[in-house]
Amino acid sequence: MKRFTQAISLLSVLLLLSACGFQLRGQYNFHFENIALRGMENSEMNRNMNLQLQILNLKVNPPEGAQVKLNLLKELRDRSIVTFSATGRAREVRITYELTYSVTDQKGDFLIATSQLNQRRELTYSDDQILGKEAEENQLYTEMQRDIARQITSRLSALKLEPTQINQGKVIK
């Protein structure tokens, strides 16, 4: 009887999730095989983006040239105090990460115009735990960068290239 109620409750949860349109992320389908990653070469964001693209089986910066060029233009990190304690010390801090990027084809025409993606997190702050809070802040920045890399790959998978744009003979430098 217990197994029966568990099975019924599991089926009802699955039914509710499917009725609201919930879907697992699934696999990305790209309409191109290789991509040139440019800008911010020595940054952590470039490394995260490169890793994300390679995990999805795209050739990054191939020697024979690329069909699409992803330009990482600018990143901005910001830190601001949200709340103060009664003694005037920071109690809660908001950190923000912003990335400006664009995507072009082989001719230099924009597939995705210059755009910005933002991530924001809030964390409690304590003067007694400065080193721990600094490590937590760095971890949050890394998570925000990974999330933005996933958002960009999602947008790249939505690109529909015309047959004239998929010419592997031209090199994007």
Tokens (6 digits) for 89: 């010390």
Q: By C-alpha distance, which of 76, 78, 56, 80 is closest to 68?
A: 56
CATH class of 29-162: alpha beta
Lowest mean pLDDT among 7-21, 34-48, 62-76, 147-161: 7-21
pTM confidence score: 0.76
113-163: per-residue pLDDT in tens?
A: 999 999 999 988 877 777 788 899 899 999 999 999 999 999 999 998 876
For 50, 69, 100, 102, 107, the CA distances from 42, given in Å and listed in that order, are 12, 18, 16, 18, 26
Q: How far apart are CA 12 and CA 95, in angstroms?
A: 40
28-37: per-residue pLDDT in tens?
A: 788 899 999 9
Give the containing element (helix H, strand E) for 8. Answer: helix 2-19
